[in-house]
Structure 1
Amino acid sequence: MKIDVLSLFPEMFDPLRQSMIGKALEKGIIDFKVTNFRDYTLNKQKHVDDLVYGGGAGMLLTPQPIFSAMSAIEADNQGDRGHVILVDPAGKRFDHQTAQRLSKYEHLTFISGHYEGYDNRIRQLVDEEISLGDYVLTGGELPTMVIIDATVRFLDDVLGNADSAEDDSFQNGLLEEPQYTRPADFQGMKVPDVLISGDHEKIRRWRLKESLRRTYLRRPDLLAHRQLTKEERDFLDDIKYEESLDSKQ
């Protein structure tokens, strides 16, 4: 996958070159480039923003530098500017499924804005707009890094274990169950017996039930959109009964 980013602060993306993504870069799994679109402004003072027509607080990014930077990306890629994503609070909320979908593209290009926002004509360049949530940050760099990190994890050979992404929370519409490692007894806090029993079917059932329990307690909204199997419905009935007993104690 090729990833291009348009940003006024390229140095903010240095942390992405660490850990798993750094290894993916070394292996050639991804090609990552950040372009400072200030380099493309025709303004002698190198300004990339201006006052809002009609009045209003803050400054808007002007279209010319971003259009010119995008033309340069197209020229470097034989006319391909990639699937262009505008990181914006008004965009569609980012989630696990979106990351998985984006991982299918061979070329992603992110526009990371700053200041008050964008001149609306910049949206003519964009294929989709994405938001991390219902809040506003000082710039698009952090959301862009989050989206890239979550997306790249789905690429082949990025994670050490190919099953890791498949077992993540949200992959099957549920939160991940509690997990444990050695020692089996730490300061009197013991790993559930079933996990060290060696009985794979009992372990599977425990994991599914505890995944449902965590989802029911923390994100019940996810269950409203999930078609439950009979086994899951039975587990959920048990969980509700067990939790009702706990609340009375």
Structure 2
Amino acid sequence: MNADPAELAKFSELAHRWWDMESEFRPLHEINPLRLDWIDGLAPISGRRVLDVGCGGGILADSMARKGADVLGIDLADKALKVAQLHALEAGTRGVKYREVSVEALAAEQPASFDVVTCMEMLEHVPQPASVVKACADLVKPGGWVFFSTINRSPKSFLFAIVGAEYVLGLLPRGTHEYQKMIRPSELAAHCRAAALDLQQTRGMEYNPLTRRYWLSANTSVNYMFATRKPL
């Protein structure tokens, strides 16, 4: 296998944090089945070529590969990618590869190459979300699906996603989100229209801190997801 054991060992401790269900990444593990089922329900991914933009440690990418998709996960965080690669090796996950490349650079290299593109919890962390949306649109084949998830910029999201999740409940590290970078659904919809993506479905994601349960709903006031398609 073309892997350096010393490099894999170096990132073992970090990998444990990404894939530890009780670490700061616990919320991503808990919402992953909801996301995966929603994506697969609208755009069945088995046998499809799928791109996961901003894949981090590979939580969604790995689960899509286990559903039978041919997955490429991309990120600009080198350490996170090494974590993802290490996990794939340890878990024996087939059908997933990772690359350190920007979505814009990949769009120039491989336009209209993927059946499904996912971009989850990334847009609120980049300076130009519209550029990411456009690149995702360029990467998907005509008739293909592009899925986004992000956080609404609203008083409720400030209370729940920042004050509640980061400071009161400690679900996320403090400073994970910046309020001014959050994106209203109307703004994301405008980015999608500008990229010639047709919005097909919107879902909100809610959380009960007492039961630690997440569920999908029509309430997009805090966390929400878009399912879009590129016209044929």
TM-score by length of 2: 0.28
More strand by share: 2
The structure whose Rg is larger is 1
